Amino acid sequence: MWLPEITGSAGPKYLSISAALGRDIAAGTLRPGDRLPPQRELAEALRIDLGTVTRAYAEARRLGLIDADGRRGSFVREAGGVLATEQVAPFDTGMNLPPLPLRSSLPERYAEALREVLAGPTAAMRLQYQPGGGAPLDRQAGADWLAERGIPAEEDTVLVVSGAQTALHAIANAALEPGDAVCTGRFVYPGWLAIARRLGLQIVPLPGDDQGIDPEALDRACTDGTVRAVYLVPSNDNPTTATMDLARRQAIVAVARRHDIKIIEDDAYGRLGADPLPPLASLAPERTWHVASLSKIVSPALRVAYLRAPSLRDAWRLAADVHETTVMAPPLNVAAASQWLRDGTWSQLVGEVRAECVARQAIVAELLPAGSYRADPEGYHLWIPLAGDIAPAELAAALAPAGLSAVASETFAADRAETARGIRVSIGGSLGRDRLARALELLDALLHHRGSRALPLV
């Protein structure tokens, strides 16, 4: 008899049961055609009421995990029956994932791109190890793509790497030394924090506002000459959702030039907006290390990012580091990406993701009170400051069974003594719109609970 593992799970029990069902199907513990225990027997085994199990099975049917066959009972659905936009992820990685568009053309376009690549003249090359930093034709495709936004880029200053995290690791190794001070915001993408701490960099958190780091604070931090770089996500910052306007970007560049510091521009979301602002690399190309990825604007499965170095010498140092750590980005994915960058397919794919983001933000605006969260209208994460007695980690755990990925503010804190609290909530990933709405209703209820000090977890 199948028994779901829900010990210690937070949130409604029926969601914990359906989530456990999804995990066990993904892990192969349950296989297509397997019969589930009768609802009454499962309720007795778990020592919960029958209504909770009934709701759990109904949720699993809605997600396409199981089928009901009258008196014969409920069975795990045959392979291929789960809708792409309603799959239950086996693990919540805490990553900020772009949403699956309601009618995504990515599967068809990806399959078509691979067929063309493997039938074309470069097929043999794509099935071999690639040169450090990518093959010249792929680097040129990336350079042309970056140049569309006014970034001076050539084939020999652009590297193709396996995702933005690889690019950031290479930059930290090539451009900085242990002990160097790097300015950031108070809350920062944890991937960069992990790199900086591992390499012995000194993190200098700075105050900011709804546009990110305060240029005057950056100027003051640089006066003693110890700061070597500033790390920024200028568009739709992760996690705070802050976006710098043109004047703020120009002010940051002016400070960087005055003190001769490097700019590390993590432009993960810059192209997701319909009217993107000029990147810092277009304003200060001589000192900006620019990272642009397809993971956050198309799909993380591609694992393709483009790293633009300030000079040819810098690019060669980066290429050596990338080759030592990851060897290469997935060659067939890179080939598909190069083709999409050249023929404009990437723009259509991003447009689909953008439209889904806008639709999801409309759901958020309908269900969460105005002013209770921060968000980019074309983005897919929320920053929710918390007050009172709500503990960020406890709230994040309570949302997990509902399928809503939330990460506590301490994960993003540049200073471990940071006292401001909040959570970052991702409204992307494989969570469908209906289930997103239900999860947001739970979030609203938990945020505005006025009963006991503890969250009402049942």
- Model confidence, pTM: 0.80
Strand, coil or helix: 268: coil
Contacts of 65-73 with C-beta under 8 Å, sequence gap 24+, read 65/18, 65/21, 65/22, 65/25, 66/21, 66/36, 72/35, 73/35, 73/36, 73/38
Domains of the chain (ranges; CATH) run 13-86 (1.10.10.10), 106-344 (3.40.640.10), 347-447 (3.90.1150.10)
Q: Report how far apart, in Å, the C-alpha atoms of 314 and of each of 176, 292, 304 are.
A: 12, 17, 20
Dump pLDDT digits (tens) for 376-411.
Answer: 999 999 999 998 788 999 999 999 888 899 999 999
Cβ–Cβ < 8 Å for 427, 380: yes
User: Can you name the residues that pair with 407 across neighbouring β-strands?
Assistant: 424
pLDDT recorded at residue 324: 77
| DSSP secondary structure string for all residues of 361-381 | HHHHHHHS-TTS-EE-TT-SE
Dump pLDDT digits (tens) for 30-81.
Answer: 888 899 999 999 999 998 999 899 988 988 887 778 888 777 889 998 754 4
Q: What percent of the chain has pLDDT over 90?
A: 70
227 CA to centre of own chain = 28
Dump pLDDT digits (tens) for 114-146.
Answer: 999 999 998 999 999 988 899 999 999 999 999
